[in-house]
């Protein structure tokens, strides 16, 4: 799909969230309608459904703010290459360009929902424990490696909503995030640039549509405020940048350019992890380090038609060693990901945390480096 048509489809997904969320509340209400009036009254489920609708409306208001400045970038016109079968009033079906319909795949709506949860993981007060377990060891390792942060360049691909990039910049390093999802980029721009500059916060209800494993309606509907710290707290002299695009493409020519590469819940986003390992080897400066924290939930493992080279940790490790990296730390850390701390369902990954050093390059003529 052409890039601008892809962008348009992301905006459509954000726009569709309200109708999608309200339809979920309608469905639940229909099913609760099978209960007796007395049972519904005793459990107060009608109040909960009303609360879900109000929560979806509030989320949609935040989404409208988030998307507003990007509407001008949505291309006019159709891309005839991507078509969807639309039922016609006469009962027939006709293929029309998706750009001319309101069609949004369910998977894109799930991504809108995940982005709302990512607000909490990265910028909400309830995400603090998750950040401590995931960001904490990474930041500690960085500080140990480079106690003098000035001029130390740190690249963070798969930056999400930018919180760890911000923390690295706050610690005095030259921090650059790279992210290719427009869902994330649009939300990160909103949080870090627009809310940040205005010193404002937004209130979301990220768990409102999560009807399983809730302890109470109040838990399900509870608000989350973000950002919990003003992104504009960065000192004047800080050095933070975000780069939009595919890590493998954007840094194709980057050689020995970063003292540290930090990958947080990122390695398993690869179609072919050997490409990530070789890119890391090329772009890390002599004596620099690769700091990683994350599981191996290969993102493409269940996507038909997508290449997905799924490796065990030992397989991946042997590739990293064969490339030339020297492991200096290797530990297992329990971390959750966009976990609802109030839910009956709690899931944690046993993440691999490592610090691997890239030894200095050998000069081509074989002389001492
Ligand atoms: C599992 S999320 C982790 C986000 C963040 N690091 C965190 O831990 O909260 C992986 C992120 O990597 C991004 N991503 C995946 N492949 C990428 C690539 N090739 N280049 C840049 N970003 C990528 C995804 O869009 C997603 O935001």
If you average pLDDT over residues 56-67, what whole number do you get? Answer: 97
Backbone angles phi, psi at 332, to 5 degrees: -105, 130
- In CATH, the number for domain 107-369 is 3.40.50.150
Strand partners, 95: 85
Segments in the chain forming alpha helices (H): 3-32, 37-43, 45-67, 106-123, 128-145, 163-170, 182-188, 196-198, 217-221, 247-250, 273-283, 313-323
If you average pLDDT over residues 335-358, what whole number do you get? Answer: 97
Rounded to whole angstroms, how far apart are CA atoms 280 and 43?
A: 55
For a pocket test of ligand 1, which of 118, 119, 160, 301 has the largest count of ligand atoms closer than 8 A to its C-beta?
160
Atom of ligand 1 nearest to the CA of 181: 25
**Helix (H) / strand (E) containing 335:** strand 326-335
Higher pLDDT, 365 or 208: 208
Q: Using pLDDT thresholds of 50, 70 and 90, give the confidence band for residue 73.
A: confident
Please report the pLDDT score of residue 72 as a whole number: 83
Q: What tens digit of pLDDT does each residue of 226-281 get?
A: 999 999 999 999 999 999 999 999 999 999 999 999 999 999 999 999 999 999 99
**Average pLDDT value for the chain:** 93
Please report the pLDDT score of residue 4 as a whole number: 81
Residue 219 has pLDDT above 80, yes or no: yes
Rounded to whole angstroms, how far apart are CA atoms 280 and 151?
A: 19
Please report the pLDDT score of residue 282 as a whole number: 98
The answer, yes or no, to whether any atom of ligand 1 lies below 6 A from the CB of 119, is no
Rounded to whole angstroms, how far apart are CA atoms 289 and 325?
A: 9
ipTM (interface predicted TM): 0.99
Please report the pLDDT score of residue 362 as a whole number: 81
Q: What tens digit of pLDDT does each residue of 180-190 get?
A: 999 999 999 99
What sign does the CA torsion over 122, 125, 130, 132 have?
positive
Q: How far is the CA of 237 from the centre of ligand 1 (A)?
A: 27
Residue 81 has pLDDT above 60, yes or no: no
Please report the pLDDT score of residue 37 as a whole number: 98
If you average pLDDT over residues 164-180, what whole number do you get? Answer: 98
Six-digit token string for 276: 């990530």
The gap between the terminal CA atoms of the chain, to the nearest Å, is 46
Residue 316 has pLDDT above 80, yes or no: yes
Nearest CA to ligand 1 atom 23: 158
Contact predicate 246/272, CB 8 Å:
no
The answer, yes or no, to whether any atom of ligand 1 lies below 6 A from the CB of 121, is yes
If you average pLDDT over residues 293-310, what whole number do you get? Answer: 97
Please report the pLDDT score of residue 365 as a whole number: 66
Residue 136 has pLDDT above 70, yes or no: yes
Q: Is 74 exposed, middle or buried (0-12, 13-18, 19+ CB in 10 A)?
A: middle
Please report the pLDDT score of residue 355 as a whole number: 98
Six-digit token string for 294: 């994350």
Residue 182's closest CA among 64, 67, 62?
Answer: 67
Enter the DSSP assignment of 125: G
Atom of ligand 1 nearest to the CA of 248: 19
Enter the DSSP assignment of 243: E
Evaluate the omega torsion of the peptide bond into residue 101 and state whether it is cis, within 30 degrees of 0.
Answer: no
Q: Which residues are within 8 A (CB) of 5 and not within 5 positions of it... i.e. 6 or more apart? A: 75, 79, 82, 98, 99
Nearest 5°: the CA angle 62, 67, 68 is 100
The answer, yes or no, to whether any atom of ligand 1 lies below 6 A from the CB of 162, is no
Higher pLDDT, 99 or 201: 201
Six-digit token string for 258: 């970063």
Q: In the chain, count of helices (H) and strands (E)? A: 12, 11
Residue 78 has pLDDT above 60, yes or no: no
Please report the pLDDT score of residue 349 as a whole number: 98
Atom of ligand 1 nearest to the CA of 247: 20
Q: Is 265 left (phi over 0), alpha (psi -120 to 50) or beta?
A: left
Please report the pLDDT score of residue 290 as a whole number: 98
Nearest CA to ligand 1 atom 13: 158
Residue 5 has pLDDT above 90, yes or no: no
- Best-predicted range by mean pLDDT among 40-49, 101-110, 354-363? 40-49
What sign does the CA torsion over 280, 281, 287, 289 have?
positive
């Amino acid at each position: 799909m052409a890039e601008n048509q892809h962008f348009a489809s992301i905006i459509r997904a954000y726009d569709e969230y309200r109708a999608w969320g309200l339809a979920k509340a309608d469905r639940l209400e229909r099913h609760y309608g099978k209960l007796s009036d007395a049972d519904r009254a005793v459990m107060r489920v009608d109040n909960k459904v009303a609360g879900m609708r109000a929560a979806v409306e509030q989320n949609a208001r935040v989404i409208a703010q988030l998307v507003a400045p990007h509407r001008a970038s949505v291309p006019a016109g159709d891309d005839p290459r991507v078509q969807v079968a639309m039922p016609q009033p006469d009962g027939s079906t006709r293929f029309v360009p998706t750009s001319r319909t309101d069609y949004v795949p369910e998977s894109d709506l799930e991504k809108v929902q995940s982005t709302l949860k990512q607000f909490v993981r990265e910028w909400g007060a309830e995400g603090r424990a998750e950040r401590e377990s995931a960001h904490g060891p990474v930041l500690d390792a960085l500080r140990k490696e480079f106690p003098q942060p000035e001029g130390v360049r740190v690249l963070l691909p798969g930056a999400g909503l930018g919180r760890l990039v911000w923390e690295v910049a706050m610690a005095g390093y030259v921090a650059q995030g790279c992210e290719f999802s427009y869902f994330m980029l649009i939300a990160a721009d909103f949080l870090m640039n627009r809310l940040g500059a205005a010193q404002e916060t937004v209130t979301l209800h990220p768990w409102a549509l999560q009807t399983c494993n809730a302890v109470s309606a109040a838990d399900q509907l509870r608000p989350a405020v973000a950002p919990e710290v003003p992104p504009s707290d960065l000192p004047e002299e800080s050095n933070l940048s975000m780069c939009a695009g595919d890590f493998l493409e954007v840094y194709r020519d980057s050689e020995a350019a970063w003292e540290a590469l930090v990958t947080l819940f990122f390695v398993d986003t690869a179609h072919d992890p050997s490409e990530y390992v070789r890119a890391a080897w090329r772009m890390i400066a002599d004596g620099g380090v690769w700091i990683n924290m994350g599981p191996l939930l290969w993102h493409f493992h269940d996507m038909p038609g997508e290449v997905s080279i799924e490796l065990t940790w030992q397989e991946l490790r042997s590739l990293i060693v064969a490339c030339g990296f020297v492991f200096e730390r290797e530990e297992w850390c329990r971390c959750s990901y966009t976990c609802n701390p109030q839910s009956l369902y709690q899931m944690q990954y046993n993440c691999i945390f490592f610090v691997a050093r890239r030894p200095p390059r050998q000069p081509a003529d074989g002389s001492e480096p």
